[in-house]
Structure 1
Amino acid sequence: MTDYGAAHRILGALIEARTGQQLLPSRAWRIDTSLRPLMRELDCTSLDALTARLYVGDFSLATRVVEALLNNETSFFRDREAFASIGRDVLPALAKTRPLKKLSIWSAGCSTGQEPYSLAMTTAEDEHFKDWDVSVVATDVSAEAISRGKAGRYSRFEIQRGLPIRQMLRWFREEGEEWHASAELRRRVRFLQHHLFDPPPGRFDLILCRNVLMYFSTIDRARGFDRMAAALAPGGLLVLGAGETVLGQTGHFRPHPMLKGCYMANEALSVAA
């Protein structure tokens, strides 16, 4: 069995300093799997050998290690019921409060782009938003994930995870072993490398930050909520992952009384954020 003692602490400190994510002991099993290709490339026979190389101040290696350890798990329309609720309930509720027919959406922690592209397809196919100005901003701390999202290229396995055949054929084309997002779909999403703790990349009517804050410490989770509160436009909504909540985490948000998994800003506090 691999000893995750010192190596785990070093790697955990590195990824938390760079991204805010905690490498919890329960996720330690991912270390070997995630870092094995890099270790093989560098001819490092153990995690100790790899972490020893980090001590010499190799910035590029530290970046590659962090990229390898980040959890980029995602899929199109991930959590189908949650996405159905966004299209059926959340977007119509927002539309009623936006007389100028403009809608700005932030997909925070977007990974390789499946979530923001799912949002773009949802709004593009909804007749209610036919003549609206809808923008989707997708951000992630991972430069590699953002690069892949911009390219809009997915393997057959990735394209089949959650994407209905009708939308696959409408919005993607098959090229060899990959499926490429159409130019029209890619134009609907703007990708940016961005840390959640940095100043927000705009003001938004809808923010999705799903399955991201769960990896943060209590203090960093509160910092993330602070930033999102500052980014939310008046009357805007926040959507978290199924296992996440604002309760006991922040004073900036409260559960929406009608929309499950949705949160409203406590306006007075949000202005101060």
Structure 2
Amino acid sequence: MEASIFSFALSFLLLNSFALSLYSITTDKHALISFKKSITSDPYAILSTNWSQDTSICNWIGVLCGLKHRRVTALSLSGYDLAGTVAPHLGNLTFLRYLDISSNNFNGFLPFELSKLRRLKVMNVGVNSFTGEIPTWLGSLPQLEELHMYTNKLSGSIPHAIFNISSLRDIRIRNNSLTGWLPNDMCNNIPNVEILSLALNQLEGQIPTNIWKCTQLETLELAFNNFSGNIPPEIGRLSYLKYLYLAYSSFQGGIPAELGKLSRLEMLSIDSASL
């Protein structure tokens, strides 16, 4: 009797496990099919010829699945000249860790549903035509390490939520139409950031004096903006800094002597900075 009960329970668990696995794969497949339907131009026929419903999504070009759960963990479709919008269904790829749709022709807004990608570590949407403001929901991605949104048509200010993601190491939002000031406490919660690239925007105000709290910074790109005030001497405390770009802004005063403490500095660009 006990053996029968045990056997039944085991069968029930295995059946549930299989059903859950099947549901997960089905969910990911539906998400990718919805993404494919939102593509209006596929000049190299990457998706139209390869993303067949008759084959496993784990064999589709640009798709990588995890070995354990067989869920989609990476979507890499850079440089295929794809055009269209990003389907909100992409947020159902809840095991996704790597998303790269850079160097395409995507437009519109990044949908709020992407905030469900809680495992995401890398988001690269650079070199597209995304518009609107940088979404505040990015701050709800607790494991994000790299955020690449460069060369788009983004506007508005940089949301404070970006600077609360303590796992961030690489922030590249250069070459957009961003405005506003950088928050004074910008570096309080991103101590691990190594690259901060905000050049070629319309940012204004002063460089926050707490910049020294980004202690791991190796690259600081703030050139071609409307920054004013003095260059903060606190930059001289960034002992790992190798590349410093401050050119083409409206700074006042002179070059802080503290910059001479940057023993690892390889590139210093401050031309046409109104010093």
TM-score for the superposition, normalised by structure 2: 0.27
Structure with the greater alpha carbon radius of gyration? 2
Which structure's relative contact order is higher, taking Cα pairs within 8 Å and 6+ residues apart?
1
Q: Which TM-score applies when normalising by structure 1?
A: 0.27
Greater helix content: 1
